[in-house]
Structure 1
Amino acid sequence: MSRKNRWAVLIMVAIGVAIFAWEMKGLNFQQVWHTLNHMQLQWLLVALLVMVGSWVVESFVVKVFVEHQGEHLSFQAAFRVPLVEQLFNNITPFASGGQPAQLVALMQAGVEGGRASSVLLMKFVVYQFMVLINFVLTIIIGFNRVATHFGALAWLIVFGLVIHVVVIIGLLLVMYQYHFTKRLVSAVVWLCGRFVGEAKMLRWQQNMDEKIDTFYAESLHLKQEKKKVLKAAGLTLIQLLMYYSVPYFVLLSFGLGKVDLVTVMVSHVMIVMIVSLFPIPGGTGGAELSFKTLFASFVATPSQLVLAMLLWRLLTYYLGMVFGIGALAVPAKRMKQLENAKKN
């Protein structure tokens, strides 16, 4: 890990500590201690296993896309990919560092760079489609609850949904309306270029053309690999459902047995949608505020709410950073067939 990334980790941890110190300062510490002493730790263990399990399932998505014609990617190498992704998603704005980090992890495992880019692109497309499906179902099931009690957050959720829909429409346009998309993007770049100068406009145009051409070429693989795509979509759905269920088991650890799994998962999906709008790594600040706002109705006391928020954040954010740092320290095992091919 570079020095810059080490500083990013330290800064995000320091901000997290500051946020929880601020939240804890107004609490009755006797009540906090009483809450901790009466926690049902078996449910917290389930929450931990579910979180780790979501990364395990994602590693099988990686294997589905990577393995081809007898190639075998070890589970260790595949599992390393989502862990590295977690680390760099969590320390970069808008999770922008996750894709490059996964690319490096796959190349270290012996996957050729161009093919690794193809794998990650297919994985990204499948993930975005499954996220959108979850968001739409969430809006249908639980938006009225949020709109009724938390009007301001409702608009953020709608905005987050719109952004994801635009991303999906853009991907579909490239896949099925390649020439129209290039003309449309050229027109948009030309309009923007009137305000930034011709030289910058030409750089933007070249960059966008390269990205569109790359995605279109890889989208042809998606169309040819329908079985892989369907299998990866099913696994991604399981991965997301496991991740969205984490706060449910955290709440159960406080003895809140009357909480409803579907309602909690819907609320968690909405938090993820809101957090995706914040440029700060991990949506720090916005994530905690959203959790407190959406889950306050489930929790009986302020101490339970703050502790639940702390445990949820540790499991869904900081745990990924810890595992990711550990993954960087372990060399990736290379694909077997690639090694045999080199010997021959």
Structure 2
Amino acid sequence: MLIEGVITKVLVSNRVENFTFKDALRVPLVEQLFNGITPFSSGGQPGQLIVMLQTGIDGGRASSALLMKFVVYQGMIVVNFFISLLIGFHFVASKLHFLALFVIFGFLIHFFVIVGLLLIMYWPSFTKKLATLLFHPVKWFIKDEKFYAMRETMYSKIDNLFEESVRIGRQPKLLLKIIVLTFFQLLFYYLIPYFIMLSLGYTGVNVIMVTSLHIMIVMIISLFPIPGGSGGAEFSFESLFHSFMSSNSKLVLAMIIWRILTYYFGMAAGAGALLVKPDKVDDSDNRVK
């Protein structure tokens, strides 16, 4: 979460002055909370957007930064997944055939999410048509004048989103920095089960295999509509790691520690971050050139 806070700070400070690291850190913390309490982690992105709007950042600019961060994140997940396939898929397929199908299906979901986000960011006419379709039911509840005014504001934010996305895409150094930071963010996250196993006395485990299996677990969790992938996460962890841990009590303890670190801690920290008052910035015309 600290590294994701740095990523947010880099993306936003590139365009907005006086955006503090405290506010940047609130973004991933709140994301963890809303990811944890909503099906398919669907609340994470809106939660981040609300936090950034609280600081005074323009909605289009905030959306662009969040989408770019999310696209890079999803892209790195797909890259890591390909690597893990080469290393650990034969293990999963030989031990648990049905989990192998979940892994492949999870990869397809992540891939199509990336394609969809890129269309939203770089195809404004498509984004406007999609937004108009989703926004149309609002017309049933408000006056026409207010509806059309709100729609024009929405179109303006979409244009701003496109302009900011193009601007960020034309800065290879910035993108490279975000990619490198995201790589280390995911690396530390994927290594958590390995260090848990080391702490429980399993010093002879293969770090590459354990990390690859954790990558696959992340793919499997994304398929479960229950908040946090509850049930599916624990079952996947137990199914894949019982071959490495002979003691059932230690396996259960490892699973509990893993869930606390990767799920419950983030939710608790996110709840605390909601109570922190943001530092306001003036994003009307205050831009870093």
TM-score, normalised to structure 2, is: 0.83
- Give yes or no for contact 1:67–1:73 (8 Å, CA) kept in 2: yes
Identity in percent: 50
| Residues 213/141 of structure 1: CA separation in 2 closer, same or farther (3 Å cut) | farther
> What is the Cα deviation at residue 307 of structure 1?
0.9
What corresponds to 1:162 in structure 2? 108
What residue in structure 1 maps to residue 142 of structure 2? Answer: none
> Do the aligned partners of residues 136 and 216 (structure 1) sit closer, same or farther apart at CA in structure 2, a change above 3 Å counting?
farther
Structure (1/2) with the larger helix percentage: 1
Aligned to 1:146: 92
1:203 correspondence with 2:133: yes
Does 2:32 match 1:86?
Answer: yes
Q: 5 Å matches for 1:240-255?
A: 240-255=186-201
| Aligned equivalent of 1:318 | 264
Moved more, 270-279 or 324-333: 324-333
Aligned residue for 2:105, secondary structure, equals helix
How do 1:89-128 and structure 2 match up within 5 A?
89-128=35-74
Rate the CA distance shift 1:172–1:76 in 2: closer, same or farther, 3 A.
Answer: closer
SS of residue paired to 2:241: helix
What is the aligned-residue RMSD (CA, Å)? 2.9
Which deviations, in whole Å up to 9, do the C-alpha atoms of 1:202-258 show, x marking residues without a partner? 835979x97997865553233223221111111011100111111111111111111
> For the residues of structure 2 that align with 1:206 and 1:234, how far apart are their CA atoms?
41
Give the match for residue 297 of structure 1: 243
Describe the SS at the equivalent of 1:298: coil
Tell me: CA distance 1:276–1:115, structure 2 relative to 1, closer, same or farther (3 Å).
same
Change (3 A) 1:169 1:98: closer
Q: In the alignment, what sits opposite 2:223?
A: 277
Q: Quick check: 1:260 aligned with 2:190? A: no
Q: Secondary structure at the match of 1:110?
A: coil
Q: Provide the secondary structure at the position in 2 that maps to 1:234.
A: helix
Deviations 1:56-106 (A, max 9, x none): 110010011100367132221111111110000000011111111111111
- With 213-222 and 116-125 compared, the bigger mean Cα shift is at 213-222
Letter in 2 for 1:104: I
Partner Cα distance (1:114, 1:175) in 2 = 10
Q: Which amino acid aligns with 2:272?
A: G
Q: Are residue 67 (structure 1) and residue 9 (structure 2) matched?
A: no
Write out per-residue CA displacement over residues 237-288 of structure 1, whole angstroms, 9 at most, x where no aligned residue. 1100111111111111111111121111111111110000011100000000
- TM-score of the superposed pair, with normalisation by structure 1: 0.70
Q: Secondary structure at the match of 2:242?
A: helix
Find the aligned partners of 2:118 and 2:15 in 1 and give their Cα distance.
28
More displaced stretch, 102-111 vs 290-299: 102-111
| Change beyond 3 A, Cα 1:222–1:282 | same
Structure 1 residue matching 2:243: 3-state secondary structure: helix
1:287 aligns with 2:233: yes
Task: Provide the residue aligned with 2:146 in structure 1.
Answer: none
- For 1:184-223, list aligned pairs within 5 A: 203=133, 216-223=162-169
CA distance in 2, matches of 1:313, 1:167: 25
Asked whether the 8 Å contact 1:77–1:334 carries over to 2, the reply is no
What one-letter code is carried by the residue in structure 2 that aligns with 1:249? Answer: F
CA contact (8 A) 2:63 2:161 kept: no
Amino acid at match of 2:36: N
Contact kept, 8 Å, 2:224 with 2:232, in 1: the verdict is yes
Q: Counterparts of 2:45 and 2:280 in 1: how far apart (Å)? A: 20
Q: Deviation of residue 107 (structure 1)?
A: 1.9
Supply the distance in 1 between the matched residues of 2:176 and 2:136 (Cα, whole angstroms). 33
Q: Give ranges in structure 1 of 5+ residues lacking alignment.
A: 1-54, 190-201
Residue 86 of structure 1 aligns to a residue whose secondary structure is helix
